[in-house]
A = this chain, B = another copy of it.
Amino acid sequence: MTDEVSQLVERLNDAHHDEQRVVFEDAVDQLEGTELALLLESLPVAERLERWEQVPDEERINVLVTMRSESRQAIFDSIDEEKLHALLNNVHAEDLVQLADTLPESVVDEALQNMAEMQREHYQQSVQYETDQIGRYVDHGLYILPRTARVRDALRGLKKSSFECADCLYLIKRNGDFAGTVLIQTLFSAPPEQSLQALSIDEPMTVPAEMSRSTASDKVEHSGLMALPVVDANNKLSGRITLRQALEITRENYESQLMATAGLNEDEDLFAPVLRSSKRRATWLGINLLTAFFASWAIGLFEATLQQVVALAVLMPIVASMGGIAGSQTLTLIIRGLALGQIAKGNIPPLLIKEVSVGALNGVLWAIVIGVIASFWFASINIGLVIAAAIVLNIIAAAFSGVVIPIILDRLTIDPALSGSVILTTVTDVVGFVAFLGLGTLFLL
């Protein structure tokens, strides 16, 4: 896929304006909806809107649903309300749930009015749940039978069905309560008159609709099944979550985490408007500026020393940077552990001991290297000794902070991927500068 999309971007770019039409028609034939969404996201907005016109009607909803929301917004903004109504005619409940937050309310209302009764109910059920709860995203394409049904009924239903690959069918009581899961496979070797209830698997797993998306998707991944039934607080079967959804959710989670390390959002459009993009990023720069002023303030405490030993100013960045890098290694390891749920109060002490030991070893190693180089560079053994001591102190502090900061942030339910490295850098900068310039003041003046 990777190559296909970028090759198409290339071909579109190489083509003359009128040939682009032809190239994109090829792309439409060749790509699945998800890939088409990626391709459209890769184009500057003006071009994207022009190509969008060529996306066949029947593909449009699918493409929009898989697009990142900011890129999709750019398309919606260019469509007038009447065309939006036409686009959303016959939209499925699941799709409308995904699109609703990037649509004007009036358009959503109109789409709901045109929906079949059943679809509207599905929609209204889904939007009761928060955006991070799995109940909002349940898939309704599941094969449901009353628990009194027999194998024969189930096989007959399979002939007519058009469910996306299902390995299971679900049984419900007359009031809609979930009553069991039957593996389709077991139907084939069972006598036609056997009751489905008897074939139901022992202790069938269900997912509560209030469960978080990521926990629910982990459950599906580990279930060994292709989907799990989702039930509401009253044990009514409200839908299912499939392995394909689990894959999408996993991808989104990781992408958010990666983007968060730079203070960005998963939905950020590659070609977001300059003003909007600047505004969003300005916040992150502002937060960082505060921490940079901390570092400057720490240096400012030692102005007199710097004036006398200018070598300290030259070497300062080395102390800060070694601390920052060592700390970010520990931080990244711990953030992964937190994301995987591997870190609990119980294993923090041995983790701290391990990371601080690693820090101490590397601190001493690199302190010697840097100390020797600095001694020769400034022809002063004392400068070498001072920077060596500062490096050891800072790398150990960095390892300690790399464990402690993300764990505290996680307790406070602040995303450590987002703010962990800003805080860590502040610590390693301040500790590094104070240690280095402080020791310099004591021993070099």
A interface residues (Cβ-Cβ under 8 A, vs B): 1-7, 9-10, 12-14, 32, 34-35, 38-39, 41-44, 155, 158-161, 164-165, 167, 185, 188-189, 214-215, 218-219, 221-226, 243-244, 246-247, 250-251, 254-255, 257-259, 261-264, 268, 270-272, 274-275, 277-278, 281-282, 284-286, 288-289, 291-293, 295-296, 299-300, 303, 306-307, 310-311, 313-318, 320-322, 325-326, 328-329, 331-333, 335-337, 339-347, 350-351, 354, 357-358, 361-362, 365-366, 369-370, 373, 425, 429, 433
**Contact between A357 and B264 (Cβ–Cβ < 8 Å)?**
no
**Contact between B346 and A14 (Cβ–Cβ < 8 Å)?**
yes
**Contact between B13 and A344 (Cβ–Cβ < 8 Å)?**
yes
Which 9 A-B residue pairings sit nearest by Cβ, starting from the closest? A13-B346, A2-B341, A165-B167, A254-B254, A262-B332, A42-B342, A9-B344, A313-B313, A1-B218
Given the known interface contacts A285-B326, A358-B281, the answer about A344 and B42 at a Cβ–Cβ threshold of 8 Å is yes
Given the known interface contacts A244-B221, A361-B274, the answer about A341 and B289 at a Cβ–Cβ threshold of 8 Å is no
Q: How many copies does the complex hold?
A: 2
Task: Choose among B296, B314, B425 the residue that contacts A318 (Cβ–Cβ < 8 A).
Answer: B296
CB-based nearest B residue for A276: B358
Which residues of chain B are near A342, meaning CB under 8 Å? 5-6, 9, 38-39, 41-42, 270
Query: Please, how many angstroms separate the alpha-carbon atoms of A223 and B34 in the complex?
Result: 10
Which residues of chain B are near A347, meaning CB under 8 Å? 9, 13, 42-44, 270
Which residues of chain B are near A44, meaning CB under 8 Å? 347, 350, 354
Which residues of chain B are near A214, meaning CB under 8 Å? 2
**Contact between B274 and A354 (Cβ–Cβ < 8 Å)?**
yes
Query: Please, how many angstroms separate the alpha-carbon atoms of A171 and B255 in the complex?
Result: 38
**Contact between A285 and B41 (Cβ–Cβ < 8 Å)?**
no
CB-based nearest B residue for A305: B310
Most chain B CB neighbours (cut-off 10 Å) among A255, A296, A361: A296
Which residues of chain B are near A333, meaning CB under 8 Å? 259, 262, 264, 268, 270
Least Cβ distance of A191 to chain B in Å? 12
Given the known interface contacts A4-B341, A13-B345, the answer about A274 and B357 at a Cβ–Cβ threshold of 8 Å is yes
Which residues of chain B are near A258, meaning CB under 8 Å? 254, 257-258, 261, 332, 335-336
CB-based nearest B residue for A1: B218
**Contact between B10 and A345 (Cβ–Cβ < 8 Å)?**
yes
Most chain B CB neighbours (cut-off 10 Å) among A5, A293, A317: A317
Task: Choose among B247, B314, B315, B331 the residue that contacts A221 (Cβ–Cβ < 8 A).
Answer: B247
Which residues of chain B are near A336, meaning CB under 8 Å? 255, 258-259
**Contact between B340 and A32 (Cβ–Cβ < 8 Å)?**
no
Which residues of chain B are near A314, meaning CB under 8 Å? 296, 299-300, 303, 306
Which residues of chain B are near A328, meaning CB under 8 Å? 261-262
**Contact between B35 and A222 (Cβ–Cβ < 8 Å)?**
yes
**Contact between A292 and B277 (Cβ–Cβ < 8 Å)?**
no
Query: Please, how many angstroms separate the alpha-carbon atoms of A328 and B262 in the complex?
Result: 6
**Contact between A3 and B42 (Cβ–Cβ < 8 Å)?**
no
Query: Please, how many angstroms separate the alpha-carbon atoms of A366 and B285 in the complex?
Result: 8
**Contact between B351 and A270 (Cβ–Cβ < 8 Å)?**
yes
A5-B342, A13-B345 known; 6 other A-B pairs, CB under 8 Å? A32-B222, A38-B342, A160-B189, A259-B333, A293-B373, A321-B425
**Contact between B262 and A215 (Cβ–Cβ < 8 Å)?**
no
Query: Please, how many angstroms separate the alpha-carbon atoms of A244 and B221 in the complex?
Result: 7
Task: Name 21 interchain pairs, CB-CB below 8 A, sorted by A.
Answer: A1-B341, A5-B342, A6-B341, A7-B344, A41-B342, A42-B342, A42-B347, A161-B185, A254-B258, A258-B335, A262-B329, A262-B333, A270-B342, A288-B321, A292-B317, A295-B317, A299-B314, A299-B316, A306-B306, A306-B313, A316-B317
Query: Please, how many angstroms separate the alpha-carbon atoms of A249 and B275 in the complex?
Result: 37
Which residues of chain B are near A369, meaning CB under 8 Å? 289
Task: Choose among B250, B291, B341, B425 the residue that contacts A250 (Cβ–Cβ < 8 A).
Answer: B250
